[in-house]
Structure 1
Amino acid sequence: MAAFVLIHGAGDVGWYWHLVEAELRARGHETIAPDLPCEDDSAGLPSYADVVVDAIGGRTGLIVVAQSFGGFIAPLVCDRVAVELLVLVAPMIPAPGESPAAYWAATGYDKEPRAGYDDTIELFYQDVAPELAAEALRRGRGQSEARMGEPSPLRAWPDVPTRVLICRDDRLFPARYLRRVARERLGVTPDEIDGGHTPALSRPRELADRLEAYAATVVKGP
Structure 2
Amino acid sequence: MTITGTDDVASTPPCYVLIPGAAADPWCWHLLTAELRARGHDVVPVDLPCDDESAGLSEYADAALAAIGDRTNLAVVAHSFGGFSAPIVCDRVPVEMLVLLAGQIPTPGETPEQWWTSSGYLEARREQDARDGRAEDDLVTLFTNDLPPDLAVEAFRHDKRQAGRPFGDPWPLAAWPEVYTRVLLHRDDKFLPVGFARRLARERLGIEPDEMPGDHMGMLGHPTELADRLEAYWAGRPQAHPR
CA distance in structure 2 between the aligned counterparts of 1:37 and 1:92, rounded to whole angstroms: 19
Identity of aligned pairs, percent?
54
Task: Please say if residues 146 and 188 of structure 2, whose CA atoms lie closer than 8 Å, have aligned partners that are also in contact.
Answer: no
The residue that corresponds to 2:110 in the other structure is 98
Amino acid at match of 1:198: M
State whether structure 2 residue 187 is matched by structure 1 residue 200: no
Q: TM-score, normalised by structure 2?
A: 0.88
**Cα 1:219/1:3, change in 2 over 3 Å:** farther
Q: 1:87 aligns with which of 99, 106, 113?
A: 99
Task: Tell me the alpha carbon deviations over residues 82-115 of structure 1, each in whole angstroms, 9 at most, x when there is no partner.
Answer: 1000000011011112111010111111222211
Q: 1:149 aligns with which of 147, 150, 168?
A: 168
Give the count of matched residue pairs: 220
CA distance in structure 1 between the aligned counterparts of 2:208 and 2:238, rounded to whole angstroms: 22
Q: 2:138 aligns with which of 119, 122, 136?
A: 119
Structure 1 segments, 4+ long, off by >2 Å, are 217-220
User: What aligned pairs does 1:4-83 form with structure 2 within 5 A after superposition?
Assistant: 4-83=16-95
Unaligned runs of 5+ in 1: none
The residue that corresponds to 2:6 in the other structure is none
Task: Tell me the alpha carbon deviations over residues 17-76 of structure 1, each in whole angstroms, 9 at most, x when there is no partner.
Answer: 010011111111110002101111100000000000010011111000000000001100
Which range moved further: 189-198 or 129-138?
Answer: 129-138
Q: Report the alpha carbon displacement of residue 219 of structure 1 after superposing the two structures with TM.
A: 8.8
State whether structure 2 residue 180 is matched by structure 1 residue 161: yes
**Cα 1:86/1:147, change in 2 over 3 Å:** closer
Q: Residue 182 of structure 2: SS of its match in structure 1?
A: strand
The residue that corresponds to 1:2 in the other structure is 14
Unaligned runs of 5+ in 2: 1-12
Q: Residue 215 of structure 2: SS of its match in structure 1?
A: coil
**Cα 1:135/1:219, change in 2 over 3 Å:** farther
The residue that corresponds to 1:211 in the other structure is 230
CA distance in structure 1 between the aligned counterparts of 2:46 and 2:223, rounded to whole angstroms: 18
CA distance in structure 1 between the aligned counterparts of 2:44 and 2:237, rounded to whole angstroms: 19
Task: Tell me the alpha carbon deviations over residues 168-188 of structure 1, each in whole angstroms, 9 at most, x when there is no partner.
Answer: 111011110001000010011
State whether structure 2 residue 202 is matched by structure 1 residue 183: yes
Q: CA-atom RMSD, angstroms?
A: 1.3
Task: Tell me the alpha carbon deviations over residues 104-141 of structure 1, each in whole angstroms, 9 at most, x when there is no partner.
Answer: 11111122221144222111011112221111111111
Larger Rg, first or second structure (1 or 2): 2
CA distance in structure 1 between the aligned counterparts of 2:138 and 2:117, rounded to whole angstroms: 23
State whether structure 2 residue 187 is matched by structure 1 residue 133: no
